[in-house]
């Protein structure tokens, strides 16, 4: 979608260098209504956080519906998912939903779900599988302009095929990114210096950015080349934005945890620091 020279806005073809700061925000805050802006940002965050659960549940429902041959279950879950989005985001203007800030808030809000699933080990694997499966379904359905609730039986069957084809590759990438976040946030009890905190935050940002970028390349290749449900899509479409979103999300969720650890470790006595690292001071 973009090269790495002059970055342009895909919506209108204008250079991002000519954009004003507010153009990257979640909302237009020219009226200075900070409270209203904060309220809508909170709504978007809650919607994003909830959608991780709903999308995972829809993936499970789709699998059950595929086995039973009855699409009523997946349509019902999709209806609840649509309702949830409307409750939280109904007041957010459509033009704001295409902005980087809106997407960043949603991505950050969804990241804890992936971290929790990865941290749970084998218990969290079914969650990641169902979510990865649904990501493929969502991509196909978005090209049709429908959700599972509105889709025809043929569209649902095709969405299931795309989900099944994309589930494992996306799962592998998700586990890589989420596991890196888990390691950087919860790793051991060794003393966290400022340098170590910066390294962990940077590692999370780079790892999550590469994960999101790789997922987008795979999904674009699947859509345009392998299954050809969106043959006009460029393989690089949205990749740069995905990398940025992943980096922002990874850095954002890691910073409070390692920052707090670094702050605590600065206040420990030498003996307490030795104990924290599992060594007997005597």
- The pLDDT score that the predictor gives to residue 222 is 97
Please report where in the chains the tokens 């003393």 appear, as a residue.
Answer: 191
- What's residue 226's pLDDT? 95
Which residues, in sequence order, are CB contacts of 221 under 8 Å at separation 6+? Answer: 235
Mean pLDDT is lowest, of 28-32, 59-63, 86-90, 180-184, for 28-32
Confidence class of residue 26 from pLDDT cuts 50, 70 and 90?
very low
Task: Please report, for residues 41, 42, 83, 110, 277, the alpha-carbon distance to residue 89 in angstroms, rounded to integers and kept in the order given.
Answer: 9, 10, 10, 15, 46
pLDDT of residue 188: 53
What is the DSSP secondary structure assignment for residue 225, as one 8-state letter? I
Task: Yes or no: say if 61 and 73 are a contact pair by the CB < 8 Å rule.
Answer: yes
Q: Are 201 and 100 in contact (CB under 8 A)?
A: no
Lowest mean pLDDT among 28-32, 74-78, 183-187: 28-32
Query: Residue 15 has what pLDDT?
Result: 45
What is the reported pLDDT for 1?
43
pLDDT for 185: 87
pLDDT digits 0-9 by tens, 174-229: 988 998 899 888 875 567 788 888 899 999 999 999 999 999 999 999 999 999 99
Helix axes 194-221, 239-266, angle to 10 degrees: 160
Better-scored residue on pLDDT, 49 or 16: 49
What is the arithmetic mean of pLDDT over 225-251? 96
Q: DSSP assignment of 73-99, as one string?
A: HHHHHHHHHHHHHHHHHTTS-GGGGGS
DSSP 29-69: -TT--HHHHHHHHHHHHHHHHHHHHHHHHHHHHHHHHHHHT
| CA–CA separation, 54 and 82 (whole Å) | 9
pLDDT in tens, 112-156: 999 999 999 899 999 999 999 999 999 999 999 999 999 999 999
197 dihedral zone (left: phi>0; alpha: psi -120 to 50; beta): alpha
pLDDT the model gives residue 269: 47
Q: What are phi and psi of 15, to 5 degrees?
A: -70, 135
The dihedral built from the CA positions of residue 42, 245, 229 and 114, taken in this order, carries a sign that is negative
Q: Work out the mean pLDDT of the chain and round it to a whole number.
A: 84
Instruction: Say if residue 71's pLDDT is above 90.
Output: yes
Spatial separation of the C-alpha atoms in residues 78 and 65, rounded to whole Å: 12
Q: What is the pLDDT of residue 275?
A: 47
For residues 30 and 241, which has the higher predicted lDDT (pLDDT)? 241
Rounded Cα–Cα distance for residues 118 and 194 (Å): 26
């Amino acid at each position: 979608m973009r090269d790495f020279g002059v970055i342009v806005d895909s919506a209108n073809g204008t250079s991002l260098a000519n954009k004003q700061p507010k153009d990257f925000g979640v909302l237009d805050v020219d009226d200075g209504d900070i409270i209203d802006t904060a309220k809508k940002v909170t709504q978007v965050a809650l919607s994003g956080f909830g959608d991780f659960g709903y999308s995972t549940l829809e993936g499970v429902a789709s699998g059950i519906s595929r086995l039973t041959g009855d699409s009523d279950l997946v349509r019902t879950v999709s209806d609840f998912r649509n309702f949830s989005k409307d409750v939280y985001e109904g007041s957010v203007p459509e033009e704001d939903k295409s902005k980087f800030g809106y997407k960043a808030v949603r991505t950050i809000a969804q990241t804890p779900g992936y971290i929790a699933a990865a941290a749970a080990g084998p218990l969290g694997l079914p969650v990641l599988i169902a979510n990865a499966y649904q990501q493929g379904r969502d991509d196909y359905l978005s090209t049709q302009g429908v959700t599972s609730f509105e889709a025809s039986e043929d569209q649902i069957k095709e969405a299931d095929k795309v989900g099944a084809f994309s589930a494992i590759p996306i799962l592998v990438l998700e586990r890589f990114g989420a596991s890196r976040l888990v390691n950087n946030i919860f790793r051991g009890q060794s003393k966290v210096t400022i340098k170590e905190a910066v390294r962990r935050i940077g590692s999370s940002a780079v790892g999550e950015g590469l994960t999101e970028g790789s997922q987008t390349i795979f999904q674009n290749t699947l859509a345009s080349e392998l299954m050809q449900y969106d043959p006009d899509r460029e393989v690089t479409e949205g990749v740069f934005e995905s990398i940025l979103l992943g980096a922002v999300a990874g850095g954002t969720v890691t910073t409070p945890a390692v920052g707090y650890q670094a702050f605590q470790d600065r206040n420990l006595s030498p003996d307490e620091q030795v104990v924290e690292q599992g060594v007997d001071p005597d």
